[in-house]
Amino acid sequence: MKKLDLGQTINTLANMGVIAGIAFLAVELRQNSQVVRAQSRAQISSEAADHIMRRAENAELAEIQLRANGGEQLTRLEQERLFLMAQSTFRRWENIHYQYRQGLYSEEEFAGNTRAWRGALSNRVNRQYWETRRDQFSPDFAAELDRLILDIEHP
């Protein structure tokens, strides 16, 4: 009878160890998820700041953009420079959209970004870029921007 009691005790302790291991794993996964979210947010913020600084520090590009927004004719080189900047912007937006869909970007942060995108999509150069390059982006992201453009055109 004592062997059976000892066996049951060992089995119970082993089961408790498994349960404790599963609980520990759940805590670790939650912490890892929080770290991934924080890293994702930090990366997106850093990219946004870099993008803004590149534009702020490049007076020539800023001048080209102002001329384009004013409807002035640009050279092919100037147009290409604006499109490359727009491509950088839209790829950053696509990343934000992807991170949001993966649950790594909060609803509030994404809503703030879409408000900014709506303003940027009112810009003539950005709209022109989107109209000519839309097919180069993921379908989900394209649908999101198309929805924003509809909101702009039909408030």
Residues in the chain: 155
Hey, what are 7's tokens?
A: 């066996």
| pLDDT reported for residue 109 | 87
Domain boundaries, the chain: 2-153
**Nearest alpha-carbon partner for 137 in 151, 123, 108, 117:** 117
Distance of alpha carbon 58 from alpha carbon 36, whole angstroms: 33
| pLDDT reported for residue 8 | 74
| pLDDT reported for residue 15 | 76
Place of tokens 């520990």: 24
**Nearest alpha-carbon partner for 81 in 68, 93, 72:** 68
pLDDT, tens only, 30-80: 766 667 666 766 776 677 677 777 777 888 888 998 898 888 999 999 999
User: pTM score, two decimals?
Assistant: 0.71
